[in-house]
Amino acid sequence: MSVATVTAFEPELQWEPSARGRLGMYCLIAAEAAIFTIFVVAYLFYLGKSLSGPTPQQVLHVPVLFTICLLSSSLTIHLAVRSLRKAKVGAFARWWFLTLFLGATFLAGTAMEWRHLIYDEGLTIQTNLFGTTYYSLVGLHAFHVLMGLLALSTVWLFAMFGKVRNEHAERIDTLALYWHFVDTVWVVVFLIVYVIGR
């Protein structure tokens, strides 16, 4: 301890807004993950405990296409941020719009699935435990997709007016983190609802 390693001004963490933003987003993701964990636990706990039908085996179809849409949107948003880092604003706007489109397609897929379940299969949130836990878990995820889409659209509007530039790359990347998180949650929800639970 007596070795003189003390220098007057050591480079500590910088006053850089992006580091703050990223860390804040990581914390938010931790909190959200805890919320999702509780819903996942409830889903797993109530698997097969419904007193009446319909059951997941009878009514659920694996949404392969829409899952591919959502998961590939993680790639497109990554490419968008990479383009922005290289100051290719045009490429950024195109990749960004593609991300938006893929996310919206996924949400439309959820809407169609729900419409099918409600009108054709007669499964609502009130029908049985499966209905309650399914709509809550998938709905919570869809709500996060929707929030993400609103944020993505805002950025896209700014991009359309030429207001998104290279120096915003770190902030945009922070938002992309959230989007990656939403996609990751879908991997879990997909496994729980459509693979394990079916």
> 12 or 120, CB closer to another protein?
12
**What track of x and - describes contact with another protein for positions 134 through 153 (by CB under 8 A)?**
--x---x-------------
Among 30, 62, 64, 196, binds another protein (CB under 8 A): 30
User: 3-state secondary structure string, the chain?
Assistant: CCCCCCCCCCCCCCCCHHHHHHHHHHHHHHHHHHHHHHHHHHHHHCCCCCCCCCCHHHHCCCCHHHHHHHHHHHHHHHHHHHHHHCCCHHHHHHHHHHHHHHHHHHHHHHHHHHHHHHHHCCCCCCCCHHHHHHHHHHHHHHHHHHHHHHHHHHHHHHHHCCCCCHHHHHHHHHHHHHHHHHHHHHHHHHHHHHHHCC
Task: Rank residues 28 and 108 by Cβ distance to another protein and give the closer one.
Answer: 28
Taking CB under 8 A as the rule, does residue 68 contact another protein?
A: no
Among the residue ranges 40-48, 70-78, 153-161, 178-186, the one whose residues contact another protein (CB under 8 A): 40-48
Distance in Å, CB of 196 to another protein, minimum: 19
Q: Which of residues 74-133 bind another protein (CB under 8 A)?
A: 125-126, 128-129, 132-133
Binding site for another protein (CB under 8 A): 1-2, 6, 8-10, 12-13, 15, 19-20, 23-24, 27-28, 30-32, 34-39, 42, 45-46, 49-51, 125-126, 128-129, 132-133, 136, 140
